[in-house]
Amino acid sequence: MLLSTLRGIIAVSFSSVSLTILFLGFLPGAFAKLLVPHAGFRRLCTRYMLFFARGFCIAMNISAETIRGQRIVIEDSVPKDLNGRYLLICNHQCWADIPVLARSIMFKLPFPRWFIKQQMIWVPIIGFATWAMDFPYMKRYTKAQLEKNPQLRGTDMETTKKACDIYRKQSVTVVNYAEGTRSTPAKRFNRNSQYEFCLRPKAGGTAFMLEAMGDVLDGVVDMTVAYVGTADPSAWKYFCGRIPEVRVRLRPLELPADLQKGSYEHDPELKNRFYQWMNELWAAKDAEIVQMHLQYKNSQKPSQQRNNQ
């Protein structure tokens, strides 16, 4: 335990130092983008900043492989395309999903962007960097706030449309964590989830993204992540190397033809079909995660038997 804690401290320190150094190179592009409103110039600034963002992802990969010795097994059937526009749909269990995502699609698909809570903009370095790289910020409202101000219900759609207007003109992998929050044992219990490892997916974000970018998307990617050997994964366990194995599966996802036309917001039948499709996708994803855990558990039995002899 002490050794793994030490590994975690070294890994976090290495990542923090790498982030600080690379951020210094990142800053000129961010300030230039802030000061010059020309759209073409701003896209050039984004490409410049992504060079340093990829450098940080590489540093995180080095940390995972050398400091923590974290084993990640990636099964990938997605063709390489660094110049396209993709929507990636994934389950979400802990903050370690971010470095796992970066490691899984690095040099395979364009640099990922995902929707971030509005409060994250105040986080030092990360807030400014994500804003500069066109990460869309979402405001979360309580049920009481929405009942008091019904006009707030459309703000997520407006944010999605604005982000998509930017993404239509650059290579990007838009990541949709469809559950809307991290799936923990406590949240699954409190929300009475029918899944063993997942929360119920929210269909709206996926549908809005497809509606706004469907004509320019080069594909949709389904990503499933399982932290096998542990019931409650966390970023700290990941940095310490306490998660026995991380398993990732990437595959192209074909959308049913009847979901590719119409308005999710204004067509009740389409909304219902999309909701059913997402639930079926998530049921299959949860079953896949269960299978990954069982495969790992069964693979450990022979060694456990040898140790007992």
How far is residue 66's CA from residue 11's CA, in Å, rounded to a whole number?
9
Q: What share of the chain is helix, strand, coil (3-state, %, to 5)?
A: 55, 15, 30
What pLDDT digit, counting tens, does each position of 150-165 carry?
666 666 667 777 778 8
List CB contacts of 132: < 8 A, sequence separation 6 or more. Answer: 26, 29, 30, 33, 34, 45, 46, 49
List CB contacts of 102: < 8 A, sequence separation 6 or more. Answer: 57, 60, 61, 112
Element (H, E) at 113: strand 112-114
Cα distance between the two ends of the chain: 25
Q: Check residue 172 and give left, alpha or beta (phi > 0: left; psi -120 to 50: alpha).
A: beta
- Assess if residue 295 is contained within a domain: yes
What is the per-residue pLDDT for 258? 81
21 residue type, one letter:
I
- Assess if residue 308 is contained within a domain: no
What is the per-residue pLDDT for 80? 95
What is the per-residue pLDDT for 156? 66
- Assess if residue 23 is contained within a domain: no
- Assess if residue 264 is contained within a domain: yes
* Residues with pLDDT less than 50, the chain: 305, 309
What pLDDT digit, counting tens, does each position of 243-300 carry?
989 999 999 999 888 887 777 877 888 889 999 999 999 999 999 999 999 988 888 7
Tokens 């809570």 locate to 117
- Assess if residue 1 is contained within a domain: no
What is the per-residue pLDDT for 143? 65
What is the per-residue pLDDT for 305? 47
How far is residue 55's CA from residue 50's CA, in Å, rounded to a whole number?
8
What percentage of the chain reaches a pLDDT higher than 90? Answer: 51
Domains contained in the chain, number: 1
Q: What is the CATH number of the domain that holds 85?
A: 3.40.1130
What phi and psi, each to the nearest 5 degrees, are found at residue 223?
A: -125, 130
- Assess if residue 29 is contained within a domain: no
Owning domain of residue 81: 71-299
What is the per-residue pLDDT for 122? 85
- Assess if residue 43 is contained within a domain: no
- Assess if residue 3 is contained within a domain: no
